[in-house]
Chain A
């Protein structure tokens, strides 16, 4: 099976919920690097929602806030603007004891991961 780093396939110019133009600008137009970072994002942070919800359930809100903060930063790197905003909303909510932002965060993360996989041609969009 071919991997994308040996056989780069052009990334789409836009992805829903992403600001790819801004990310490309920051990466100096390095498409290969953008693809590598998108793949790395899924590998490192794709399962973050379950982890964060487990932390909240275990009454470790400080750890959950830190994890959301970290995810927000990672999402910004790849231009996942909608996810970054949802993570920030969930983070700010948790700081005030409000878990209301978590479902939105969970669905934003799922959507982001699906869009990335589709763009990298590693799985069909649902």
Chain B
């Protein structure tokens, strides 16, 4: 999860000070620890600026018990992915099933054995890291590192629904590298890959808002999904992409422009419940075709 060498951060939730001290002091060589003595305090700390990497949660607490704390952690978007291990003296199956039902990943019995606890924490942190990495890989284009088609499709569906709900404008820039096949044939696939990476970087630099999503759509086609953006705003982004790529000055002797260029189609719609989100792509694609037919290295909107 955290790329650095910093020790993972635990949140220890236990109203018994001895147990909290046992865990925080006993595990301090491997982990940093925060302690909460109540469910309320636990929820507050878990949602703070540096969220814990894992939570050790006592089941039996006065006031809000561990089950309720876990249930609330799993509802909130910012805490739902944090693994929760229950600490319990109730070694009965009903308690265990109830814990698993509210989203715990594991159980540790009291009185706590530090070596076992440490091993289980490390296992669950490793699982979490793997899961996070896989989730990231499945949404990222391997070559360029920007969002891939799958991530774009998800975002498009989401923004399409939001546009229909809010009656807000949704824009899409579809950018295609001109004469890319000839570039590959002339300069080789390695140069082609480098060219794609340059274009991806320009796409990333051309969008401004956190909600804007540049992505590789496939082959030499890129997209930028722009929520709450008018035609004029989207056209400016597309022009930024086009001029940014021309400014790289990547030689391309088989293009009439002499350098690598892109053509862009820019579509803007207010989504309707009756249409599919592919309507936006189709519209941008038509305009991209027009830009190509019109001589390339241009934006059609």
Q: What residues of chain A have their CB less than 8 Å away from a CB belonging to chain B?
A: 23, 25-28, 30, 33, 36-37, 40-41, 44, 70, 73-74, 76-78
Contacts and interface: CB of A to CB of B under 8 A. Distances in A.
B118 to A, nearest CB: 8
Given A73-B89, A76-B110, A76-B111, A27 B18 contact: no
A33 B25 contact: yes
B16 A74 contact: yes
B26 A70 contact: no
Given A27-B26, A36-B25, A78 B113 contact: no
Contacts of B26: 27-28, 30, 33
A27 B110 contact: no
Given A30-B26, A33-B25, A25 B113 contact: yes
Contacts of B110: 73, 76-77
A61 to B, nearest CB: 17
Contacts of B112: 26, 77
Chain A binding site: helix, strand, loop or mixed by DSSP?
A: helix
A44 B22 CA distance: 14
A73 B111 contact: yes
A40 B17 contact: yes
B18 A74 contact: yes
Interface string B1-40: 0000000000000001111011001100000000000000
B41 interface: no
A119 to B, nearest CB: 16
B115 interface: yes
